[in-house]
Structure 1
Amino acid sequence: MSSPTPLVKGWHPMIAVVPYALLAVLAAFTVTMKEGGSLLVDLALCAFTAAWMLWLFTLHPSWRERPRVMALFFTVLIVITAVLVVRDSWFGFFTPAAYLYAFKVLRWPWRLAGVAAVAVVAGTAQASGTDMTTLFGLATYLAILAVNVIPMCAFAWFAWRSAQQNDERRKAMEELSEANRRLEATLAENAGLHQRLLAQAREAGVMEERQRMAREIHDTLAQGLTGIITQLQAAEQAGADPAGWRRHVTAATGLARESLSEARRSVHALRPEPLETARLSDALADVAARWSALHGPAVQVTTTGTARPMPPEAESALLRTAQEALANVAKHAGASRVGVTLSYMEREVALDVRDDGRGFDPTGIDGTVVGGSAGGGGFGLVAMRQRIEALSGTLQVESEPGVGTAISACIPAARQAPLQPAGARA
């Protein structure tokens, strides 16, 4: 059942006053028009009607929310009103109060029946002077009833429909307000999450930059300083040989200049100098030649497959890996033969660095392979792995004490148009 019509909810003063006022006026008018036993009956009915309204509606407001009690209240009230109208037609002026009660206390669809009943009582009062024993009189009576019932029932339906629409709009507004509240809460939560993500991104960026600088410093300054120290120590030992002394000092000076240049490039995140003007295979050959000139053993550089362009970061990672592996060979391996192979395959590009030096146990901290030539566990080995894995590649190390070391770095290849085939180079 629907609730009482919202339109009627504001009629409390009228409901509290109008029914009693109409009943009092009609009772006073009856006193002037009648006398005797008939007058007493009418006054008794008026008193009962007033007492009925006072007890069930006025004095007990909580009962107005009980549909069955209100249905009983309205049914008795309309029956008494009908009796009064049949006895005296002027009691038809009490029907406006009955309409008010119908709209106030009855739920839909019983409200429509209540309004129709009141309209029938009002029409009966209006047709009191009609001779209903004739066909014309009966038709007139029915016409009067239709004139009362149809408009009032139509008004009741429109009032109910308006109430329904108001309820729907109210519910829609409440849902919209709730949705807006949730949206505001979600936006506030997203704003907080966005701030946290920004903070995490900044922290990740700082950490990544620190790792990049650490790798670059190791691959440039640390290796260069190690080479300079090695050449200066050799020059110190060759004090009696002026030619040898000058050769080592010249090599140390060259290494210092190269280290300074690489340090500047690292600060600006530029590509390694050998890759500025040459392809990766040529840059590897140049690096190997410089290493052989400083450390003695000749490095055999081989390129297999069809060379093709690679992302700059991939070429830089492979070149730095080769440099680090050769630096480890110089520091720890004591090798007589060193080989570097660059292989262009269908789905990846591989770099292999091999030596026949002392070898080592490649199991590092926590039993994991940290990679690298002899001397495993240093930062250079970690840096190599970080560079390769950052490009979705893999780094593998095979080594045993006394049998040498092999490092293999593989990076997924970008599918681009191939360059000219590359042959072997010694």
Structure 2
Amino acid sequence: MTPQGAAPHGDRSDWIWLLLPYAMLLLTSAYAGFTGEVGAAQVPRTIVISLALVAWHTFWAIGHRHWLARALVPMAMYFVGLVALCALLLEISPSYLPMYLVCYAIAFVALPGVWAYVGLILAASVPVALAGALGWQEPNLAVNLGGLALAGVIGWSIRKSEAETAARTAALTELARAHEDLERASAENVALQDRLVTEARESGVLAERTRLAAEIHDTLAAALSGIVSQLEALDAELAPEDPIRGRVRLSTDLARENLREARLSIQALRPTALQHQHLHLALTELTKAFEQAHGLTARVHVTGTVVDIPQDVEDALVRISREALTNIRRHAGAGQVHLTLSYFGDSIALDIADDGAGFGDPNPRGHGLQIMTERAQGVGGAVQVRTDPDAGTTVTATVPLPGRTVVA
């Protein structure tokens, strides 16, 4: 039986009730023939009515299952025709009375809502009204009414149980949907928290770098600038042949060199070095400043498809480049420096190659290299050094990347 509002053609229990008329018609016909209640003269009529009942039930109930408990008019026509055919069989032999038990069940399968009880009353009334069937005798009437009440209670109970089952199924479906929505919202919340933490960390890093740049500018750079001015004033006061003048000029050059280093540090620390531009553009600006300050030729090359990378990775590679350029100027005696930025999709590599003297130790240990290694490790990367005497040195920093968006 199918509760009102449910999808009847998906309920396997409906098939049990829909196949019951065939089974009951076969059993009652066999019983009537075995007991001889159907005479030879009535056999053709019985066969015709039985075939008509089979065709009627097959066309309406089996062939149009989507009407069950939904379309009142066609199902009412079907049920009235079913009861009428059962009545014709009952007029032939009382052996067909069990067919009305089938009608009781079919009323709840075919008719929607309260119309099932109307059909139940109709099915129970016909045997009583037919002469020669149960008749209007009190015992028969009491049995029929008792069966009618029992069928009504059973049908109501089954429908109520099915309605509760359908409601529980709908509630479980809604609960599962709500659980999925909750999991999706939780995942989005976790992603949002991660993004907020990342943004807060990057904001803190940029704020600290800005603060350090300002402090270097206001203290170290300002002090070096003052020292340069004082040394220049002293040099102007000394006589050209004064022996101290050579040391003053050496000290002035040293102070100017450290002032340039301080200004490069300020440039690398300021967040504007990487805002509104990509890493290779920031490296180009860094090499231009390096060329202007020290006279060495420095070039930037890019290979692979340029993608957006995390701010901390960009910062680390810029600072590694600056440290490598400083080491080249101080120790390599090089004339050219080439920075090659390679995008590999899942990683990025920066090669800083010079044509300087190189060194013999294949595993050099120095303060500058240690700084570069620590900066690379801070973003999950590594630094390798390849060098040969008189063949130059190449420093390679490699950093893994998550999935990134391609930059047009």
What TM-score results when the alignment is normalised by the length of structure 2? Answer: 0.47
For the pair shown, the structure with the greater C-alpha radius of gyration is: 1
What TM-score results when the alignment is normalised by the length of structure 1? Answer: 0.46
